[in-house]
Amino acid sequence: MGQLDGKIALITGAARGQGRSHALHLAREGADIIAIDICGGLEGVSTPPATPADLDETRAGVEALDRRIVAAKADTRDLEELREAVNSGVSQLGGLDIVCANAGVFALNRERRPKDARLRAAIWNSTMDTNLTGTWHTLECTVPILIDQGRGGSIVITSSTAGLKAYTYRDTAITAYVASKHALTGLVRGYAKDLAEYGIRVNAIHPTGVHTLGIDNDVVGARVEEDPGLLEVVANALPVDAIEVEDVSRGLLYLVGESGRYITGTGLVIDAGFTLVANG
């Protein structure tokens, strides 16, 4: 018997990284999965994009655990495209219990503040449109379903330590990222208050840097080599440069399972002591 037997979980940004890890962890505990990902790149974002093949790998991993999965390519920035994917998944699997608004970007560039104003705007817009507006779209598409079902539910929004500590580096991408993640804190608190009467809990998860392609890529590597001071801004108190995706998924499971049944309107910090360090 799993902790989530009979539950249906929707995860955005599910093709790889934290999203894939979340899908597999929840499936191991008995949940069926609706996996959504854009499977493509964004203007101003240097991170190698997820692909349809990545989403297929997530699908195969969940099916190997003998759980059902509906996987769909959809852009969280596009409300109607996302709504179609959500409604299709809910219809095929028969309901919805858990929402993991996980899709997000960190658009670090080779330059702190690119000389090209259009690139600076693209970094800002892609970050805010994905991290903040895309999360709001996810709530817009799923909250009415949870309310109509009348059986409560759990929503977890992937924020960051950047949603708790205003670190900066005179860097366009970092400024945009920190602003977007701080905004998510307000989103969590507002929705938690509004949805409490329906038995729907809303929380955030705040990881420090996580070993995914978001930071483990050639652009970030070259940037750190050219500008080692960047490492001081993101340094943790514990002697690790970043945590693993499984560390975040274990925290997610705590929030969405029975262990988190009375937790709402707050955030789970998995930061290796980042918030203790006087950096930024």
Does 113 fall in a domain? yes
Establish if 32 belongs to a structural domain: yes
- Contact indicator for 96, 145 with CB cutoff of 8 Å: yes
What pLDDT, on the 0 to 100 scale, is given for residue 192? 98
105 φ, ψ to 5°?
Answer: -135, 155
Q: For residue 237, with 0-12 CB atoms within 10 Å meaning exposed, 13-18 middle and 19 or more buried, which class applies?
A: middle
Residue with the larger pLDDT of the pair 220 and 199 = 199
DSSP codes joined into one string, 223-245: HHHH-THHHHHT--SSS-S-B-H
174 found inside a domain = yes
The answer to whether residue 238 sits within a structural domain is yes
DSSP code of residue 39: -
Q: Total domain count for the chain?
A: 1
What are the residues whose beta carbons fall under 8 Å from the beta carbon of 109, sequence distance 6 or more?
A: 44, 46, 119, 123, 172, 173, 219, 223
For residue 116, give both structure tokens.
């090209």
Q: Which residues span the domain enclosing 105?
A: 8-276
pLDDT tens per residue across span 170-179: 899 999 999 9
| Active-site residue flag, 254 | no
**In a domain? residue 3:** no
Give 11-58 pLDDT, tens digit per residue.
999 999 999 999 999 999 999 999 999 999 999 998 899 999 999 999
> Which of 239, 246, 269, 249 is CA-nearest to residue 160?
269
Question: What mean pLDDT is predicted for residues 171-200?
Answer: 97
Instruction: Please state, rounded to an integer, the average pLDDT across all residues of the chain.
Output: 96
In a domain, 241, yes or no: yes
Choosing from 167, 169, 177, 191, the catalytic residue is 177
CATH value at residue 171: 3.40.50.720
